[in-house]
Amino acid sequence: MPVFEGVVQDLIDELGRLPGVGPKSAQRIAFHLLQADPHDVQRLVQALSEVKAKVAFCETCGNIAEGTQCRICADPRRDATAICVVEEPKDVVAIERTREFRGRYHVLGGAISPLDGIGPDDLRFSELMARLSSGEVTEIIIATDPNLEGEATASYLARLLSPFELRVSRLASGLPVGGDLEYADEVTLGRAFEGRKLLNA
């Protein structure tokens, strides 16, 4: 039921279609914009139109890119022998923040989800296989989401990679830092056990 008239309601409707924005937040953002400095609003408008005009997906890895290659694929200092496979571009950002990984990425574009009509052919597996043909890559780190769809996607990928001579690993799903052990569920605790680390090595 529209509460406001014309353009204000149009703005609220558009904002309400964004992920994670409910009707209340949409209203709050709309009124914030109405009261904001016109220059600030102009900058937002420009950022929105430029992102659609300039940004595409990297031809190599599927990450977000300005141009045909993303920043990471174009960087010669990155280790070309290791590829970290993730579901979405936002996962690249998350792993980059850790500064733990110096190799390159491969973005699948999601996880296998039969109930949503997403099978292996809908994801960028064949592009990954093509990257392995040169023989330069020696290690694959699978970093799909730590839920069952992510796990099933990882098992599909592990099977796909089994004929190659590669070091294949999957990110350990540990216990959430800051939590109490007794509250961890058995699956999380079990996976943390599998991925335990030697302290005297």
Partner 1 sequence: MPLYRDSGVVLRTHKLGEADRIITILTRSRGKVRAVAKGVRRTKSRFGARLEPGMHVDLQCYEGRSLDTITQAVGLDAWGHVLASSYADWTAAVAILETADRLTEEHESAVAQYHLLCGALRTLAGGAHEATLVLDAYLLRALSVAGWAPSLHDCARCGAEGPHRAFHIASGGAVCPSCRPAGSSAPAPATLELLGALLSGDWARADDSGPRERREGSGLTAAFAQWHLERGIRALGYVDRTPDPGRTR
Contact 65, 56 (CB under 8 A): yes
- How far, in Å, CA of 113 to CA of 8, rounded? 38
Q: Are 117 and 60 in contact (CB under 8 A)?
A: no
The reply on whether position 70 binds Zn ion by CB under 5 A is: yes
Tell the residue number behind the tokens 């109930």, with chain if given. Answer: 115
Could you tell me the strand order of the sheet in which 104-107 lies? Answer: 104-107, 82-86, 139-142, 167-170
Question: What is the distance of C-alpha 147 from the center of its chain?
Answer: 14
**Residues 95-134 as x/- pattern, contact with partner 1 by CB under 8 A:** -----------------x-xx-x-x---------------
Instruction: Calculate the dihedral angle through the C-alpha atoms of 62, 163, 196, 80, rounding to the nearest 10 degrees.
Output: -40
H or E element in which residue 158 lies: helix 148-161
Convert residues 134-173 into a mask of x (bound to partner 1 by CB under 8 A) and - (unbound): -------------xxx-xx--xx--x--------------
CA contacts within 13 A on the Cβ side of 67? 6
Phi, psi of 179 (to 5 degrees): -100, 175
Q: Does 187 bind partner 1 (CB under 8 A)?
A: yes
Question: Minimum CB separation from Zn ion for residue 70, in Å?
Answer: 3
Answer for which of 2, 67, 179, 195 binds partner 1 (CB under 8 A) is 179
| Contacted by 114, from partner 1, Zn ion, none: CB < 5 to 8 Å by type | partner 1
Q: Any contact of residue 69 with partner 1 (CB under 8 A)?
A: no
Stretch that binds partner 1, among 10-18, 87-95, 135-143, 180-188 (CB under 8 A): 180-188
Interface size with partner 1, residues (CB under 8 A) = 25
Residues in 30-69 at the binding interface with Zn ion, rule: CB under 5 A = 58, 60-61, 63
**Residue number, 4 or 156, with CB nearest to partner 1:** 156
What 8-state DSSP symbol labels residue 56? Answer: E
Shortest CB 107 distance to Zn ion, Å: 8
Residues that bind partner 1 (CB under 8 A): 20, 22, 112, 114-115, 117, 119, 147-149, 151-152, 155-156, 159, 176, 178-179, 183-188, 190
